[in-house]
Amino acid sequence: MSRLAKRPRANHQQTAAALRQQPGVWLVVGDYRNSISADNLARRIRCGYPIGNPDDSTPYLPVGAYESRTELVEDGTRVSARYIETRKDVRS
């Protein structure tokens, strides 16, 4: 039985920076074989939860500044995200 080829690891610092450079544009974060892993990552991006080691922080801050979605692809589930421009001081 052959093993599945390793996939490149997502560089979340680089991805978050690229998203902030292009507000409103959906970019691929990564493809995952397991849909549960993909759904978990998408939730962590939206909520600003740590990714990987719980002691680590997340580049997807401030909370609520990113949207994420998942979609089925040929070899698993793809996670995409986009940065939403936020304004801290909104006046009427």
53-60: long-range contacts at Cβ-Cβ below 8 A with a sequence spacing of 24 or more? Answer: 58/12, 59/12, 59/13, 59/15, 59/16, 59/17, 60/12, 60/16
> Which band of pLDDT confidence, cut at 50, 70 and 90, is reported for residue 17?
very high
Residue 66 lies in a domain: yes
70 within a domain of the structure (yes/no): yes
Q: Is 89 within the bounds of a domain? A: no
User: Over the stretch 31-89, which tens digit does the pLDDT of each residue have?
Assistant: 999 999 999 999 999 998 888 776 677 899 998 899 999 999 998 999 999 999 776 54
Q: Around 34, how many Cα atoms within 13 Å sit in the side-chain half-sphere? A: 4
Does some domain include residue 27?
Answer: yes
Tokens of 81: 């995200």
Domain membership of residue 37 as a residue range: 12-83
Quote the number of domains for the chain: 1
> Is 61 part of any domain?
yes
Which helix (H) or strand (E) is 15 found in, with range? helix 12-21
Alpha-carbon distance of 10 to 30, in angstroms, equals 6
| Span 6-35, average pLDDT | 91
pTM: 0.82
pLDDT at 42: 97
